[in-house]
C-alpha cells in the first residue's frame, strides 16, 4: 500500500517537474519547443505578436515578422541582451545587403558584398556603413535602406542583412530591453521591410 502511495505521488509530481523545466527554458531565452508543439519559428512569431502587435498570422501591417530576445551569457553570467528581428520580403531585385559598423572589427560574418558608395544619412551619422550586391544596384539599395535608420539609432545595432527573402536585424544591449523600444523597433522594421517588396 505504501508503495502504491509513493508511486502515485511520484506520477503526480513528474508532470509538474517537466512543466517547471520547460518554463525555466523559456525564461532563460531559449526557444526550445514548449509543450512539444511550438518550435523556434512559432516562438519567434509569438514574440512578434506580443511585442509588435502582429496578428495571429504573425504579420505586422501585412509583413510576416518574427522576433526573439534573450540574455547573452558567458560562463553562467549574463553579459548583455540580444534582440533579433526577422521580416519576410519579396526582394524582386535580388539585392544582398549588409549594414554594419564602420571599421575592420565590425565586418559581418555571413557574407560581405562590396561597400556601397552612398550610405543613407540615418545610418552614416550613427557610424554604420552599407554594403550591396550587385554593385550596380547600390543607389537603389541605399534609397531602400534609409528606412532602416531606427535600428541604428542608439548604437545597439550589430548588423542588418538582406539575403534572398529574409531581412534580419540583430541588436545587442548591455541592459535588458524595454518593451516600448522593442515594440517601436518591430513596427519600424515592418515599415522598412515594405520597401523591399
2 has pLDDT over 80: no
End-to-end CA distance of the chain: 68
Share above pLDDT 90 across residues of the chain, in percent, rounded to a whole number: 43
pTM value is 0.74
pLDDT at position 24, please?
41
Residue in 173, 194, 180 with CA at minimum distance from that of residue 87: 194
Separation between Cα atoms, residue 150 and residue 165, nearest integer Å:
21
Separation between Cα atoms, residue 157 and residue 44, nearest integer Å:
19
53: pLDDT confidence band, cut at 50, 70 and 90? Answer: confident
6: pLDDT confidence band, cut at 50, 70 and 90? Answer: low
pLDDT at position 104, please?
60
Residue with cell 535602406: 145
Grid cell in block for residue 2: 505504501
Within its chain, how far is the Cα of 44 from the centroid?
Answer: 8
51 has pLDDT over 80: no
Angle at 92 between CA 87 and CA 95, to 5 degrees: 75
The residue count for the chain: 197
Q: At what angle do helices 179-193 and 40-52 cross, to 10 degrees?
A: 100
pLDDT at position 110, please?
59
Instruction: Give whole-number Cα distances, 9 to 3, 17, 119, 162, in Å.
Output: 10, 12, 65, 53
Q: What is the mean pLDDT of the chain?
A: 80
32 has pLDDT over 70: no
137 has pLDDT over 60: yes
1: pLDDT confidence band, cut at 50, 70 and 90? Answer: low
Amino acid at each position: 500500500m505504501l508503495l502504491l502511495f509513493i508511486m502515485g505521488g511520484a506520477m503526480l509530481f513528474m508532470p509538474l517537474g517537466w512543466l517547471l523545466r520547460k518554463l525555466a527554458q523559456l525564461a532563460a531565452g531559449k526557444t526550445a519547443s514548449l509543450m512539444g508543439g511550438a518550435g523556434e519559428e512559432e516562438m519567434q512569431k509569438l514574440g512578434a505578436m506580443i511585442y509588435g502587435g502582429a496578428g495571429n498570422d504573425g504579420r505586422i501591417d501585412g509583413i510576416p515578422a518574427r522576433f526573439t530576445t534573450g540574455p547573452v551569457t558567458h560562463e553562467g553570467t549574463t553579459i548583455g541582451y540580444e534582440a533579433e528581428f526577422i521580416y519576410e520580403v519579396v526582394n524582386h531585385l535580388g539585392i544582398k545587403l549588409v549594414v554594419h559598423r564602420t571599421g575592420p572589427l565590425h565586418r559581418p560574418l555571413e557574407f560581405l558584398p562590396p561597400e556601397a558608395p552612398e550610405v543613407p544619412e540615418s545610418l552614416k551619422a550613427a557610424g554604420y556603413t552599407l554594403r550591396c550586391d550587385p554593385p550596380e544596384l547600390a543607389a537603389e539599395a541605399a534609397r531602400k535602406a534609409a528606412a532602416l535608420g531606427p535600428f541604428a539609432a542608439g548604437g545597439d545595432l550589430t548588423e542588418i542583412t538582406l539575403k534572398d527573402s529574409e531581412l534580419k536585424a540583430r541588436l545587442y544591449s548591455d541592459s535588458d530591453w524595454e518593451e516600448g523600444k522593442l515594440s517601436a523597433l518591430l513596427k519600424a522594421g515592418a515599415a522598412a521591410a515594405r520597401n523591399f517588396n
